[in-house]
Amino acid sequence: MNPERIYRIAGTLVKSQLRSGRSSNLGMRLFNKPRVILLLDSTLFLIAAGVAYGVLVLAGGMSEETSALLNTITLQGLTSLPALMPPTIFIAAVLFELSVSSKFASSDVVNWLPVSQTDYVSASTLSIAYMYSFVVAIALGFTFPLATRAALMPAWGASAVLSLVALFATGALVEIMRAALNRVTSAVYGRAKRGALVIRLAVVVLVILGMEFVFNPTIMSGVVGTFSGAVSSVFFVPFFWSSIAVSELAAGQLFLSAAFSALTVLFALLLLFVAVKVRARYWSPLPVTVEVTESEYSPRTGFLQSLGLSAVGAAIVRKDLRGFTRRRELLAYLAIPFVFGALIVVQQLTTLGANSSSGGAPPVYSFWLIGGLVTTMIASTSVGQEGKAILNIYASPVSPGVLLRAKLFVASLFGLGTTIAILVVSTFLAPGSVAGFAVSLLASVVIVMECVFIGLGVATRHPDLQERPRPRFVEPTWLTLAILLGIVLAFVTVFPLVLWPSASGYLEGVGLSYESAVGLGLAFGCLICIIAYRWAMSGAAKLLYELNA
């Protein structure tokens, strides 16, 4: 192990992470050195500490009972902090690792440099821990004033140190996963062929759904609640050793605390050792060969053309749909509808359990959530997804209208498919009137089309065609604006539906019936569709005018 070399490699990996996502000069200037992370961590620590301190000041003089409760919560927080690091950071890191384009994942320069596995894995582990250290900084900042007030500073100090150790252990865990996935991918691709793509998609969706549930407030509070009393009951789980150490320290059990702290450090080192061994054994720097079919080539005759697309448009649609199931960096986008769908269904099930009498109400939130977010996101990124291969579109006889219609087809397929699926499931769970369902369906279609055109307008005007480890596909500022605009316009479109139950009296008083209110909303939506379509079309013409990639 060469500490100087590890430091240099870790620094390079952090620089790569920091710079790969920057395209503006300002962003590059601000985020070009690893020490910016330290600065960011310090700032976040101070902000979080300031917020917590402000809350304490605003709360003023507390009763003894409230004060005791706050102390208990603070101790629970300090105890649970190191144990919450691994799930939080691991899932985020897994998502990032899975979303790195295979083109970049297989081109590690380190593969042909004279660097030992131990040095590289240690450096990579350190860089992951460093990149995610902001999570620890925020948590420690927030708990600092609370711990000071509750005279729990020793526990806070132990929690801080052990959280950092847990952060390192999580980094090692990500390294193990990275090498193991590389092996699994090679093995599965060798045998499962096209099935491997489906397996990968399923894995990503499951991971994201897992994250969704891990961060579910109910489950989070359950985990924190574990530490309220018998934390030692989970002594057999190594990831809890750090929390047990903090808990024992607070209870005055110094020997037990020291023992579990030592065990925590040893466990982190063990994970690093395993990560080195797994990488040495399984890492393959070569790109995997995937055979998508074994059948002889036979030109397709067009199902898509029967839906009104031209041959050129159908080819672009087919290509884009294949990209969604095959490109690692697009899998997260494909998973988003599943995640939001599951979220809404779970939420509705919870609501039904709590208040079954409210069943039957149209799930209005699903319109602007799915319509405004998922659809806009997919439409906005549709041009940037081409990357540098957009040269194929420029070099081919493709008109702006054909390109726009192809992108429109793909984005609306996702938007409409997801929204209608959720609407149907929601209606099944909470049946309502046929008329209500019809109105919801119509509103869904209008909203999805609004958002698709807004997204395409942004996609054609502000695509990000740069190919990097984690491509963005669209300029982030414009993506944010498009999402906000989509949500606002979608909300205005369904406003009469939302407003009617509480304001029907007033609206009828001004001569507006339910039907005319809904009609007004939908007419507004259609008008937006026309305006946004023209905007998107002029964007497509501008895009194809000259190659800027």
Partner 1 sequence: MRGTTLETQASVDSPSVPKNPLNGVAGISVVGVSKSFGTFKAVRELNLRVEPGEIMGLLGPNGAGKSTTMKLILGVVKPDSGTIRIFGKDVAREAVETKQLVGYVPETAQLYEFLSGVEYLDFVADMYGMAAAVRKREITQFLSALELAGHENQMISGYSQGMKQKIAITAALMHHPRLLILDESLNGLDPRSARIVKDVIRSLGREGYSILFSTHVLEIAEAICDRVAIMDQGKILASGTVPELRAKAGLPGSSLEEVFLKITGTSDLRDIVAELSK
Q: Which of these segments, 48-56, 316-324, 472-480, 496-504, binds partner 1 (CB under 8 A)?
A: 316-324
* Binding to partner 1 in span 8-67, by CB under 8 A: none
Identity at 227, one-letter amino acid code: F
Among 18, 181, 315, 537, binds partner 1 (CB under 8 A): 315
The residues, ordered by sequence, that sit 6+ positions from 235 with a Cβ below 8 Å of its Cβ are 241, 244
For residue 187, state whether it binds partner 1 (rule: CB under 8 A).
no
Cβ pair 131, 17 in contact under 8 A: yes
Q: Which is nearer to partner 1, 57 or 286 (CB)?
A: 286
Q: How far is the CB of 87 from partner 1 (least distance, A)?
A: 31
What is the spatial distance between Cα 193 and Cα 189, in angstroms, rounded to a whole number? 5
Q: How far is the CB of 319 from partner 1 (least distance, A)?
A: 5
Query: In the Cβ-directed half-sphere of 507, how many Cα atoms lie within 13 Å?
Result: 18
For residue 112, state whether it binds partner 1 (rule: CB under 8 A).
no
Cβ pair 378, 417 in contact under 8 A: no
Query: In the Cβ-directed half-sphere of 108, how many Cα atoms lie within 13 Å?
Result: 19
Q: Which is nearer to partner 1, 360 or 401 (CB)?
A: 401
Among 29, 281, 300, 534, binds partner 1 (CB under 8 A): 300
The CA-CA-CA angle for residues 400, 523, 436, to 5°, reads 115
Nearest CA-CA partner of 337 in 468, 212, 168: 212
Q: What b/e string do you get for 302-339 counting C-beta neighbours within 10 Å, with b at 16 or more?
A: eebeeeebbebbbbbbbbbeebbebbbbbbbbbbbbbb
Q: How far is the CB of 379 from partner 1 (least distance, A)?
A: 20
Number of residues that bind partner 1 (CB under 8 A): 41
The length of the chain, given as a count of residues:
549
Q: How far is the CB of 6 from partner 1 (least distance, A)?
A: 31
Q: Which is nearer to partner 1, 145 or 387 (CB)?
A: 387
Q: Which of these segments, 276-284, 306-314, 367-375, 443-451, binds partner 1 (CB under 8 A)?
A: 306-314
Cα 155 to chain centroid, rounded: 32
Q: Which is nearer to partner 1, 5 or 318 (CB)?
A: 318
Q: How far is the CB of 536 from partner 1 (least distance, A)?
A: 19
DSSP 355: -
Q: What b/e string do you get for 60-78 counting C-beta neighbours within 10 Å, with b at 16 or more?
A: eeeeeeeeeebbeebbbbb
Site string for partner 1, 390-419 (x = CB under 8 A): xxx-xxxxxx--------------------
Q: How far is the CB of 540 from partner 1 (least distance, A)?
A: 13
Site string for partner 1, 272-291 (x = CB under 8 A): ---------------xxxxx
Q: Which two tokens stand for residue 209?
A: 């759904």
Q: Which of these segments, 90-98, 263-271, 315-323, 416-424, binds partner 1 (CB under 8 A)?
A: 315-323
Identity at 253, one-letter amino acid code: Q
Instruction: Write phi, then psi, for 271 (nearest 5 degrees).
Output: -60, -40
Q: How far is the CB of 532 from partner 1 (least distance, A)?
A: 25
Q: Give the footprint of partner 1 on this chain (CB under 8 A).
A: 102-103, 287-295, 297-301, 311-312, 314-315, 318-319, 322-323, 326-327, 388-392, 394-399, 544-547
